[in-house]
Amino acid sequence: MTRYGFVIDTTRCVGCNFCSMACKVENNLPEDVWWSRAYTDGGEVEQTPSGEWPDNLHMAFMTVGCQHCDNPACVKACPVGATYKDADTGIVRQDFDKCIGCRMCMAACPYSGVRTFNWEEPKYFLDFPVGSADAPKHQKGVVEKCTMCWHRIAKGERPACADVCRTLARHWGDFDDPDSEVSKLIRDRPYKQLLADEGTGPCVYYLV
């Protein structure tokens, strides 16, 4: 079995949003749609340091997209099975052609903002599509989210975000393979998972 997921080294991440940008370009995401975002672990405003001034300040970021959970709340909630867990890869998929746009999955998913809804006809900054030719087509009135670059994995490539990370903070691989880089990382390093006590079993691990 294969269980793909990410390991993100928060001690290396500088919150540059390069992964978010790569995702946006690779998947030809419409204006204002982001499947990945850097979250600041500091205060109410983006890029606020945590701790106390002046000697004890530090900044930490978490890049958050779909957590591709082992027990996804969205998959249980979707009335038509438009979002489902792929048995061969563990990837939580979203069938844009099947989604009825009820947004039950968005209400169910505890990771606020990783699921996006196309509230209007997708618009683009450029008048030509960018990214991969086989990237998913975007349509109005459906829920979208990170596909883990399904189209790239199918070609034997890594997800775009893992490919571009400039600080080498983002790792991608198969957690069911004990010899994979991601398996070794979570074996050797302390990590946390987002909202682990919700029982969703996220497949994104944050090294701390």
Minimum distance, C-beta of residue 31 to other proteins, in the bound complex (Å): 8
Of positions 1, 14, 80, 196, contacts other proteins by CB under 8 A: 80
Q: What is the DSSP string of 71-113?
A: S-HHHHH-TT--EEE-TTT--EEE-TTT-----HHHHH-SSTT
Q: Does 191 bind other proteins (CB under 8 A)?
A: no
Of positions 22, 135, 142, 160, contacts other proteins by CB under 8 A: 142
State how far the Cα of 66 lies from the Cα of 92, in Å rounded to an integer: 8
Give the residue with the Cβ less far from other proteins, 137 or 140: 140
State how far the Cα of 121 lies from the Cα of 112, in Å rounded to an integer: 22
Select from 119, 93, 115 the least CA-distant residue to 104: 115
Piece in contact with other proteins (CB under 8 A), picked from 125-133, 149-157, 171-179, 197-205: 197-205
**115 and 147 Cβ atoms separated by less than 8 Å:** no
The pair phi, psi for residue 188, each rounded to 5°, is -95, -25
Minimum distance, C-beta of residue 32 to other proteins, in the bound complex (Å): 4
The mark string for 99-138 relative to other proteins (x by CB under 8 A, - otherwise) is xxxxxx-xxxxxxxx-xxxxxxx-----------------
Please tell me the count of residues contacting other proteins according to CB under 8 A. 58
Q: Does 192 bind other proteins (CB under 8 A)?
A: no
Restricting to residues 33-62, name those near other proteins by CB under 8 A.
Answer: 33-34, 37-48, 62
Q: Which residues contact 100 (CB under 8 A, 6 or more apart)?
A: 79, 80, 82
Piece in contact with other proteins (CB under 8 A), picked from 31-39, 128-136, 159-167, 169-177: 31-39
**143 and 106 Cβ atoms separated by less than 8 Å:** yes
Select from 105, 106, 98 the least CA-distant residue to 80: 98
Site for other proteins, rule CB under 8 A: 17, 32-34, 37-48, 62, 64, 73, 75-82, 98-104, 106-113, 115-121, 140-143, 194-195, 198-200
